[in-house]
Structure 1
Amino acid sequence: MELNFNELRELVTTLSQTDISELTLKSGDFELTLRKQGALVVSSPSADTVSVTPVPVSAQSGEIPQPIVVSPPAAPPTPPPSVDSNLVEITSPMVGTFYRAPAPEEPPFVDVGDRIQSGQTVCIIEAMKLMNELEAEVTGEIVEILVENSQPVEFGQPLMRVKPN
């Protein structure tokens, strides 16, 4: 399979305008993988995978293309949501999966409007197959639950907002 520089440029442009994050083309000994993170990988069965930038596209044309960087389109900045300064956020102490209840068939630890006490379990964060109960550090009322059940969470991500007493 031969691919000239203009065809490659058109392919990269088309890929950048889609939701596709990775595209692999294979033909015989030729393999081309494009990833939106900017990696361009060329490999063949007879050689180890090699990251190449720039890549000679065609020995016949003698052209050596400039480095190609594919980036996702920039999202417009969103203003941070207005948060009542009197509210206290319960944040995730680790990366993991957020669970509102101790088991799928059981009721959630807390719901919006519930009164909680300091030390009360409000959710579970599963990390590396370990279930970690997260306890409230404040007494008050749950005003908002910011994460859906069974969703991944990051370290420091707000999970709930509490109106303290």
Structure 2
Amino acid sequence: MEIEKIKSILDAIKDTDIEEIWFEKGGEKSGFRRKDISSSASEPSGEIVFEAPKPHNKESIQKVLSSSNQIKSTMVGTFLRSATPGGKPLVEEGDFVTVGQKVGIVEAMKVMKEITSQISGKMIKVLVADNHPVEYGQPLFEVDTDYANKKH
């Protein structure tokens, strides 16, 4: 793949939530995967790895605080409740979820994007059925964030 084409692809997806993208043309495969900064250092994989900075500002923090009882889709695609077809859902109503916990997957054009919880609390409602289309920012789950403070 030509260097200019690689640069244009990286530039086109740098401000998106796409974590991985692969191309195949004439038997030649090329791929890109964002670097997972939470994982430990490993052997080089031969893949081109890049990391896009995600700055935090007052507006983005306020947006999270104003909708703190919902977990929303981070991209347009098909919502999947389990990690494998026909598998057990990652979370059920009544489960307790924690920050960073994987709660679903959104798939678009064979790109799988994990949906992780940005809040902790009791899962009170699943808003989207498995294998249904979702929009960017669409609420997927309702979470009772005061659950830990309530007497049970």
- The counterpart of 2:79, out of the listed 86, 90, 98, is 98
Q: Which runs of 5+ in 1 are unaligned?
A: 1-84
2:110 is matched with which residue: 125, 129, 132?
129
Task: Count residues with an aligned counterpart.
Answer: 81
**Unmatched runs of 5 consecutive residues or more in structure 2:** 1-65
Q: Deviations over 1:27-68 (max 9, x none)?
A: xxxxxxxxxxxxxxxxxxxxxxxxxxxxxxxxxxxxxxxxxx
User: Secondary structure of the equivalent of 1:124?
Assistant: strand
2:89 aligned with 1:112:
no
CA distance in 1, matches of 2:116, 2:122: 14
Structure scoring higher RCO (CA < 8 A, sep ≥ 6) equals 2
Letter in 2 for 1:123: G
Determine what percentage of the aligned residue pairs are the same residue: 43
- The separation in 2 between residues aligned to 1:86 and 1:112, in whole angstroms, is 19
Aligned partner of 1:139 in structure 2 is: 120
Letter of the structure 2 residue corresponding to residue 121 of structure 1 = K
Counterpart residue type for residue 135 of structure 2:
E
C-alpha displacement of 1:105:
3.0
- One-letter identity of the residue aligned with 1:132: K
Q: How does 1:140-155 map to 2 (within 5 A)?
A: 140-155=121-136
Bigger radius of gyration = 1
**Aligned residue in 2 for 1:62:** none
Letter in 1 for 2:127: L
Contact 2:68 2:119 in 1 (8 A): no
How big is the shift at 1:86?
A: 9.1
2-structure distance, mates of 1:121, 1:109:
7
Deviations 1:95-150 (A, max 9, x none): 00000000123210000000011000000000221111110001111000000100
- Structure 1 residue runs of 4+, over 6 Å off? none
Residue 32 (structure 2) aligns with: none
Partner amino acid for 1:156? Answer: G
